[in-house]
Each structure stands twice: as structure tokens, then as C-alpha cells.
Amino acid sequence: MVDAGDTAWILTSTALVLFMTLPGLALFYGGLVQSKNILSVLMHCTAIACLMSLLWLFGGYSLAFSEGTPVVGDLSKFLLMGVERETVFSGTGIPESLFFMFQMTFAIITPALIVGAYVERIKFAAVLLFSGLWLYIVYAPVTHWVWGGGWLGSMGVLDFAGGIVVHVTAGVSALVMAKMLGPRRGFPKAVRPPHAPWMVMVGAAMLWVGWFGFNAGSALSAGGDAGMAMLVTHISAATASLVWMVIEWVKYGKPSLVGIVTGTIAGLATITPASGYVGPLGGLALGLAGGLICYWAVELVKRRFGVDDSLDVLAVHGVGGATGTLLAAVFVVSSLGGVGLADGVSLGDQLVTQAIGVGAVALWSAVATFLILKLVQIVCGLRASDEDIIEGLDFTAHGEKGYNL
């Protein structure tokens, strides 16, 4: 039977998660680039949202959530065949059409996160081709592994809302993309600062609000799990924001707006896999860990490794998601306020399972992304010309300008 309360909450959550990409992520990323490239970033997020919606219907959902094998689902739900208006998704009180929509918003935002790795220098055709192939080859199979009855879910991996499925896949793929695409002009010493920090904050605020649907909605019901997931999500975001602010204040003498909201996103990414399993202490601890570790990761990727992951997708999302996935094994224990480990499973056992999940998904994401990008290079090329990059992708790729002053 369809449960009206659960259905109403997941309808709301679905809208909130779409709000994360359009307009939240679009504005967050758009404010971080040069003014001559803002429309290209908005275009990337919008086009990806539209394309992923159709590809999710044309087999993506089926590959992720039909029975199939432990590695990937089959095509029995292609175009939602066999799913009636009143069909209830197994184990829930919501229509399967709504579950399809809720999961579709995850399939939209995950490849959109990767936009942060290639802003200001990629061909638009490459964005579309890469994102489409990536959904089918990386995202859908990994979703099946964890949430669709696949091998990681059978092992007992804990990933409540997408630390592995969303953040590890996007973060690792972003690193490969940034490395193969090459850096922005002037990287690392002469890259221009964000053109609109106020826009970054507005986008981050939309992401923060939308993330309540992302995490609390993943309970798939309107109950105690959703309530606690919302609580710990907020606590983690607030904690990581303050941690990032204090680090910058001590290090540079001035706390920046871009810095504090980057900490917000780090805290949100870190709590995501653990949000339905931990209590307030876990939310506080994961926010602290996310702020510290993700800040260090930003420095490591750009300065130590010299990779221009332009908007820090690996450091914030990939590292944050992996950190939260591993720490979920610790803070899930009932003595720390969590829901408790499964019968017969020790903390050490669960930590090993979490590490296997992170490692396997990171490896698959890296290898598959490398192969996809090689194909994209052959078909349409990857990097825009130097002339187009200098003039700005807003005009050269889309024939428009963000600011007509």
C-alpha cells in the first residue's frame, strides 16, 4: 500500500535534491569561475540535468535497480516497463515512479559535480558525451553494487545517501578528468580568483537546504531515521564550516566567504554516507573530520600533486565521501549514539567492508573514466582551443555573455 506521509516526504525530497543542481550547484560553481565563463558552467549543469533525466529513463534506472547480476542490473525496467501507476517500490510505502524520480535526481547531480574539474577549458560536446557514457558505465553499475542488490550491498557496506555512490565516483573521476584535460591557463600561480563570491555563497546555501532532501530523503520514509539524518547533516555542515573558517583565519589572518561555504560542502559530503546511521556525536565528529581532512586535501591535490581539479571536486567530495564512509563504521556503534552494527559484525569487520567499498569504487571510477575520456578524445576532442579559452567559453561555445556592461 502507498503510504501518504512517506510519499509526501519523498516528493518534497525529490524537489529538494533537484534544487541542489538547479540552481544550487550551478550558482556555486558559476561564482567560482571567471566572469567570461559563468554561462558555460550554468549551461553544463542545465544540459547535464536534462540529458541524465532521459538516460535514466532509457536504461539507467534499470541497470541500477533491476535484479540482474551482482555486478549490474538488466534492462527489464527500460522505459519503466511493467511499472504501473500504483506499483509500490519493494520495502517502502512509496510508488516506484517516485522512487525512480528520487534516484534520478542523484543521477543528475553526480555527473554535474564533475563539472568542477573541467570548467573554463572543455568542449561542450565533450561534456555531453562524457556525462552520458559515465552514467551508464560508472554511475549505474556502482549504484547497483551498493543499493540495487549488488555485491557491495550483499557484503553489508554502509552508504546511506551516497558517500560511495555519489561522492567517491565523482571525486575520483574528476581527478582523472583534470589530469587528462590539463590545467587552466596560468595554473597554479596566475589563476584568477572567483568573480562572484556572493554567488558562491548563495549556491552553497541552496545546496545546504537541498541536502536535507538528499540525506533525510534517503530514509525513504517520514520517520525517526529521516529526522536524525536531517539533524546530523546540519550539525556536520555547521561544524565543518567553522573549522574551515578558523583554519583560514589563523593561516591568512582573514576568514573568507568562499572558504566558509567550501567547508559547508565538505561537511555535507562527509556526513552523507553515515547520515542515517549515526547520532549527534557522529554528526559533530564527521563535520570536524571533514573540515580538517578536506582542507588538507585541497592543498595536497593542487600544490603537492599539481593537478588543476579547478573547483576541488576530489578534495571536497571524493575525500569527504571516503572519510565519511570509513568513519560510519566507527560512529554507527550504539555506544556512540548510532543505530548499532549488524549481528555478529565487529567494528573491525565493518571498517574492512567500508574500505573495500571505497577502494573498489575508486578503482573502477578511475579506470572507466580514463577509457571514456580516451573515446571522447577520439570522437570530438576534449580541450577547447587556446583562442576559445582566452576569449571565454560563454561567447565562443554558446554565443552569449553573462554580463553585458
Note the pLDDT tens digit of each residue in 2-21.
999 999 999 999 999 999 99
Note the pLDDT tens digit of each residue in 175-219.
999 999 999 999 988 899 999 999 999 999 999 999 999 999 999
Note the pLDDT tens digit of each residue in 360-380.
999 999 999 999 999 999 999
* The predicted structure's pLDDT at residue 208: 98
Share of the chain above pLDDT 90, in %: 98
Report whether pLDDT(405) > 90. Answer: no
Residues near 110 by beta carbon (within 8 Å), at least 6 away in sequence: 139, 162, 165, 166, 169, 170
* The predicted structure's pLDDT at residue 348: 97
* The predicted structure's pLDDT at residue 382: 98
Locus of grid cell 560508472: 138
Locus of grid cell 600533486: 305
Q: What is the mean pLDDT of the chain?
A: 97
* The predicted structure's pLDDT at residue 289: 98
Q: Decide: 89 and 96 in contact? Cβ < 8 Å.
A: yes
Rounded to an integer, the average pLDDT of 56-83 is 97
Note the pLDDT tens digit of each residue in 287-336.
999 999 999 999 999 989 999 999 999 999 999 999 999 999 999 999 99
Rounded to an integer, the average pLDDT of 47-72 is 98
* The predicted structure's pLDDT at residue 404: 87
DSSP state of 139: I
Rounded to an integer, the average pLDDT of 261-284 is 98
Rounded to an integer, the average pLDDT of 80-84 is 94
In our burial notation (b when 16+ CB lie closer than 10 A, e otherwise), range 367-402 reads ebbeebbeebeeeeebbbeeeebeebbbbbbeeeeb
* The predicted structure's pLDDT at residue 28: 98
Identify the burial level of 366 via C-beta atoms within 10 angstroms of its C-beta, where 0-12 means exposed, 13-18 middle and 19 or more buried.
middle
Rounded to an integer, the average pLDDT of 22-37 is 98
Domain ranges of the chain: 4-393
Locus of grid cell 502507498: 2
Distance, in Å, from the CA atom of 365 to the CA atom of 142, rounded to the nearest integer, reads 9
Q: Decide: 318 and 124 in contact? Cβ < 8 Å.
A: no
User: 4-393 belongs to which homologous superfamily?
Assistant: Ammonium transporter AmtB like domains (1.10.3430.10)
DSSP state of 165: I
Q: Decide: 112 and 27 in contact? Cβ < 8 Å.
A: no
* The predicted structure's pLDDT at residue 266: 98
Rounded to an integer, the average pLDDT of 75-84 is 95
Rounded to an integer, the average pLDDT of 109-116 is 98
Identify the burial level of 361 via C-beta atoms within 10 angstroms of its C-beta, where 0-12 means exposed, 13-18 middle and 19 or more buried.
buried
Report whether pLDDT(100) > 90. Answer: yes
* The predicted structure's pLDDT at residue 194: 96
* The predicted structure's pLDDT at residue 190: 87
Cut 0.85: pTM above it: yes
Rounded to an integer, the average pLDDT of 334-358 is 97
Distance, in Å, from the CA atom of 96 to the CA atom of 81, rounded to the nearest integer, reads 12
Rounded to an integer, the average pLDDT of 92-101 is 98
